[in-house]
Amino acid sequence: MGAYQGLDFSREELSAAMRQNYDRIIAFVTTTEFKALHRELRALPPTKRPDFVRRVILQPTELAKRGISVPDDILIQISAFGDRRPTLFAVKIFLPEKFHCAWENTNLTFDNEYEDEQVSRDPEMAWRAPLAVELQNSLISRGADLDNIVLPND
Give Rg (Cα) of the chain.
17
- The CB-based long-range contact list for 40-45 (8 Å cut-off, 24+ gap) reads 40/66, 41/88, 41/110
Q: Check residue 115 and report its DSSP letter.
A: -
Residue 47 pLDDT: 94
Output the pLDDT for position 55: 97
Binned average pLDDT, 10 residues per bin, the chain of 154 residues: 72 95 98 98 96 97 97 94 85 95 94 70 71 82 80 68
pLDDT for res 116: 63
Q: Is the dihedral of CA 135, 141, 147, 149 positive or negative?
A: negative
pLDDT at residue 81, as a whole number: 81
pLDDT value at position 82?
Answer: 77
For 148, half-sphere exposure in the C-beta direction (CA atoms, 13 angstrom radius) is 5
Sheet holding 87-94, edge to edge: 75-77, 87-94, 105-111
